[in-house]
Chains A and B, each alone.
Chain A
């Protein structure tokens, strides 16, 4: 990605500004976004906006992207297996959707099918980390810190290291946003990550009885009070928080209306992605957004084509599809990664669920993605091809995927700093983006 350091507007920027202003006008006067369609200074785009979605609990990759050509899959999962696309004994809406001669998509992921066909969605199978503890926390911690195994001594997150290794463009306080309760580990290590539950919560609420008419006055005092505190970057956080407050005073996210007729599901993920869309369109300098979707730890009653996990998949697919529709052409400058800490055991357990396994699935969605393919060095599901005690082997290091995105889509050449110690010979081998 070419970097433009001068502040003169290029022809492309002028055209973009004009188009977005026109779009804003078309959307109507009640959209607050229309008022700020022109970028604030210092927020030039370096690379794509990264949306990182973490599926927490270990999503079962084998049922998301089904290796329907493997007999072993059906042998190991007598009750959980998804019927093959050509299985005439089952109704069509229960069959997996054909991707290629080995893989098919879970029917609940149908909303993603057009994106795959258009080449915007790429699937990486049999990928994961080298962490073998099968502990949620260790595996999540390894992935969020961007290391091979959790015992690595590196303490900060990979997204944090990415943001630290590129020169800071402008001073946007909304550079990295996490829609979560607590700061995700992937953003640990930078002081300007902002944790939000909803965008509209992000203001100083002033009850009338307080008698303060000017929020600015209070903000000023708070800024002064926290300026002298130097413990674990709390002063910086306070400063940035106050800055964000001012920024958001110009945007009213509660009145946001999705474009292109997109309908976000009324779920935590749907609401989260809608707010990411609002932030991206508001052009307040968002570089990274982190979201979580929990509920993948399906030890008991996982459900095959209906039930617990399919409900999760439906929400996931509808949310991502709505996001892609809403962003429209702007998807050219957005890359979304959905990842999980590990996949699940090949064999279903007595509770009609699956236990913690090894390799899982990653989804990469964006305008710059070479989609329409399943990227997999498939290890096979026969007993001798599995890793003890019966798990899909990891043949693609999850960092290969992340590194390609960081390098080619986020415009950050410092891969060695983002993923220290990773085997870089393979970088770019996937050709994913």
Chain B
């Protein structure tokens, strides 16, 4: 890793830690001072022992390692690094990073073996179920975190996602996506399948490894609620920006803000044709789906007349495509806006409102009681599989009294009694796949081979062709059981390129069926729900694991 030759030390004795660098004014020296002040000094302050480099996911250990090597060989006093030395250092360090990152990443993403033999881990089944529904899948690590923090603190942390709180190797891995570093209008060089590959890879990596699981589940929710199908026109190129700056950024904020952001996003303007919505010849597509799917719900109390009026309000909301302007951004075109008076949902919108017409409609719709009900119902189904009327009613009240604060609604829902008492909810293919990867602490790159399995299960992300998003429930998904079984087999047999599970490291040598059950379900292996499964487990470790993931017990949460 960092064992390659560092710059030659020409001084004497052991360097004193933390002593200031004395360097001259050359450009190379300024660079080296930058390097030292940026990386080395910070590491020194931690002052940790030297460990075998980079076996531990904690970032400061690795920094210390860097320092240790450096400090052992190089003197701190009167160090003078030439430009050549600096370059050499950079080259060596760069090579080290390139060579070292892959295994580091793997180790960082997969915690060390957990259950060997059968330690006495006892957790409340209610907590297991709670976590299983809040996250993409309960793991022993997650359960320990919950036990350590307590439910309230854990939930608060989940409601406040922070990019810096992710493991640094996860962050590092997520930084490499070309689609997120390029403006949508410039992305056209990439073929659409490549954009989709990266989008899905990004979504899978986050869903599997993110610390902020609730945030990821909400992003998944909004991805369906505000579905934009990559197959339509140029939408695929606007999806990365849409996902990052709209859905992901506002996933746990106020719904009115999110709604407004989607209305102005080029992805949505293109998908539902509002970019062509002009004075005199309105295009109703966005207006209709806005009320039917995004806000009021189909029986939310609007008429065909409302659809036409709302379409008029959004005339002129389009995407910039003029020469020498920021292409592919939102633009309000007053010349194409119908500035007459309108009447939406029995309310008068005076003439001459301009861009505010649309804003007013969005505010009106976002805080409409039908929207509260529609949204809360969908949230219930997303997290618990069904929506009891009483819960929906209570959540709607929270929604309306907090100005559409999603976090408040989630707090109410996730801490409610019925959240852990409602009947089992059938996992959708994406939930199923991610929960399996998490349960077995798989190392995955989330690349095409894995994505192909998701497609066979019927849920390729970003590819649902209609604006209503992927459905929920057994009826919609039970037809692809075979694809789930095939995924379970392939995962446990390490037959998915780019994805690895290390079962012996996870649970020891066979017979380890009990440890396996405990790792996957986080329940004691003699739990009543696992009894019939436990009796049928046989064969090698991989076969047992495949049977567990293919079992009915793992299809519901």
Chain A residues in contact with chain B, CB under 8 A?
Answer: 56, 132-138, 150-151, 178, 181-183, 188, 193-195, 197, 201-202, 204-207, 209-212, 218, 221-222, 224-226, 228-229, 231-235, 237-238, 241, 245, 294, 299-300, 349-351, 355-356, 389
Task: Please give me the residue from chain A that is nearest to B281 by CB atom.
Answer: A350
- The 10 listed contacts between A and B (C-beta, < 8 Å) are A138-B298, A151-B299, A207-B495, A212-B539, A231-B556, A232-B474, A233-B478, A300-B273, A300-B276, A350-B276
Across-interface contacts of B492 in A (CB, < 8 A): 210
Classify the interface of chain A: helix, strand, loop or mixed: loop
State the CA gap A56–B231 with chains docked (Å): 14
State the CA gap A234–B486 with chains docked (Å): 17
What are the 5 A-B residue pairs with the smallest beta carbon separation, nearest first?
A195-B479, A232-B474, A207-B495, A350-B281, A210-B493
Task: Please give me the residue from chain B that is nearest to A388 by CB atom.
Answer: B304
Across-interface contacts of B493 in A (CB, < 8 A): 207, 209-210
State the CA gap A194–B298 with chains docked (Å): 30
State the CA gap A241–B540 with chains docked (Å): 25
Q: How far is the CB of A4 from chain B (nearest CB, A)?
A: 32
B546 touches A183 (CB 8 A): no
Asked whether B308 is an interface residue with its Cβ less than 8 Å from the other chain, the reply is: yes
Across-interface contacts of B542 in A (CB, < 8 A): 209-211
Chain B residues in contact with chain A, CB under 8 A?
Answer: 273, 276, 278, 280-281, 283-285, 288, 292, 298-299, 304, 308, 424, 426, 455-456, 458-460, 465-466, 468, 470-471, 473-483, 485-486, 489-490, 492-495, 532-533, 536, 538-540, 542-543, 546-547, 550-552, 555-556
A182 touches B466 (CB 8 A): no
State the CA gap A225–B483 with chains docked (Å): 17
Across-interface contacts of B479 in A (CB, < 8 A): 178, 182-183, 193-195, 237
Q: Which of B478, B486, B533 has the most CB atoms of chain A within a 10 A radius of its CB? A: B478
State the CA gap A137–B546 with chains docked (Å): 38
Q: How far is the CB of B336 from chain A (nearest CB, A)?
A: 10
State the CA gap A228–B553 with chains docked (Å): 11
Q: How far is the CB of B518 from chain A (nearest CB, A)?
A: 19
State the CA gap A56–B494 with chains docked (Å): 39
Across-interface contacts of A134 in B (CB, < 8 A): 288, 304
A232 touches B426 (CB 8 A): yes
B552 touches A229 (CB 8 A): yes
Across-interface contacts of A218 in B (CB, < 8 A): 489, 547
Across-interface contacts of A349 in B (CB, < 8 A): 276, 281, 283
Across-interface contacts of A182 in B (CB, < 8 A): 458, 470-471, 476-477, 479
Task: Please give me the residue from chain B that is nearest to A132 by CB atom.
Answer: B304
B292 touches A135 (CB 8 A): yes
Across-interface contacts of B456 in A (CB, < 8 A): 197, 201
Q: How far is the CB of A407 from chain B (nearest CB, A)?
A: 28
B486 touches A204 (CB 8 A): yes
Across-interface contacts of B480 in A (CB, < 8 A): 195
Q: How far is the CB of A176 from chain B (nearest CB, A)?
A: 10
Task: Please give me the residue from chain A that is nearest to B458 by CB atom.
Answer: A181
B285 touches A211 (CB 8 A): no
State the CA gap A304–B337 with chains docked (Å): 29
A210 touches B285 (CB 8 A): no
State the CA gap A156–B190 with chains docked (Å): 43
State the CA gap A240–B261 with chains docked (Å): 46
Supposing A225-B536, A234-B481 touch, asked if A188 and B494 sit within 8 A by C-beta, the answer is no
A211 touches B540 (CB 8 A): yes
B478 touches A204 (CB 8 A): no
State the CA gap A147–B468 with chains docked (Å): 21
State the CA gap A209–B542 with chains docked (Å): 9
Across-interface contacts of A194 in B (CB, < 8 A): 479
Task: Please give me the residue from chain A that is nearest to B424 by CB atom.
Answer: A231
A299 touches B481 (CB 8 A): no
Supposing A209-B542, A211-B542 touch, asked if A241 and B482 sit within 8 A by C-beta, the answer is yes
Q: How far is the CB of B270 from chain A (nearest CB, A)?
A: 10
Supposing A56-B465, A206-B489 touch, asked if A133 and B481 sit within 8 A by C-beta, the answer is no
B547 touches A389 (CB 8 A): no
